[in-house]
Chain A
Amino acid sequence: MDEKTTQVGKFFTLPNDANNHNTTDNNDNFLKYITAEIEKTTPNIGVVPVPNANIGTNAGGKTMLGAKYGSLPNPAPLATGWVPWQESADTRYAPSEGLSRGTLFPGLDLPFKNIVNTGSPYAGTPLGELLAISFAAHELVLYLDTHTNDTQAFAVLKELLALKQEAHRRYTAKYGPVTTADLINETSFTWTRTPFPWNFEEGGR
């Protein structure tokens, strides 16, 4: 082992300080290093900074560590299962990144063999916008199903729904109805004449 670093747990080595002393006693230093390590291995993340971090200090204004942990009851009765509670929806990927990864929440992003999809499907096209915004809104709805009183998350949902309405309008204007209700804007019965999604090409050809 390099004498200028100290092994911390299983995965990280922390550089020693100027006097070649182990710096793991300094909790701020440790958490700052861990956060930096996490960010190095998960590039291109559009993270919304959390102003009041639950765990870990800010490293360059971004807090990843807090989003990966939830809370458990203390004390907890025996003979029950407990999943840690996701405390907030504040730390999120941008909608198109969320769609690509399959979740809006970095803490829940746990890929097989750490291989992630790169690039956003149909980014910049009306279909891509509709898919990304709809996905983000849906993720917030599932979150709010179990977090009824999270007014902050509800405010975000309402913004996303407004964006979704606009994305829906733009998509249907160009490519035809997405629901039968959209036929109100059509001049003929286009429902059966635009491709069904298992036959979609780019942008809904």
Chain B
Amino acid sequence: MITWQEFKDIFLNGTWRQNSSLVQILGMCPLLAMTTTLVNGAMLSLATILVMALSGLVVSLLRNLIPYEIRIPVFILIAAALVTMVDLGMNAFMHDMYLILGIFIPLIITNCIVLARIEVFAAKQSPLQSFFDGAFMGTGMLWTLSLLGGIRELIGNGTLFSGIEAVVPSLHHLQLLPESYPGFMLAVLPPGAFILLGCLIATKNWIEARAAARAKLPPPTPANAAGCH
């Protein structure tokens, strides 16, 4: 089925090494439009996780039946059917959130990351692996979009979790900065998303560069000694 090592690899790939927003820079349109608040970013990512995990599973199950030449339209049909299910489900059970996310739920199908993972991974791997790949790719998007949404919301409005009422009616948003905080509107506008995404990408690269430098630090002493004649 799936080994622990495989599982760990898929997890790290999806959430960090090939993070859809920070490394592959895919799905920029929903990222710009929907990370105005933490809740919006997280909810859109959750919907995407659902679509990606299920489409990975279904495509992988059918991979030997799909003719190679027409695989892309078939992949899209499968994913579109799943997106429609998520769309209708959200409309029925989370109507308020559905109204906020609006067109971006049906537009999940146009998010390159969905088709990219089907084509690159699910069409070639077994069902369980594909399911987890979709889920963890989406999880990578989830933490990135939530973080970006949280930062934008905090800088732009001084709040966190605003709009949580649409998901859990009993909860309220947090007012982290004083009410008199004027709000740095730029953070909520698309340029702010680009600037902050750039900062996040830089932070990720910095963490990796530091890790790489650390890994290199303990020099293999025997080889070093041998090197100096």
Q: Do A and B bind each other?
A: no
A interface vs B, CB < 8 Å? none
Binding site for A on B (CB under 8 A): none
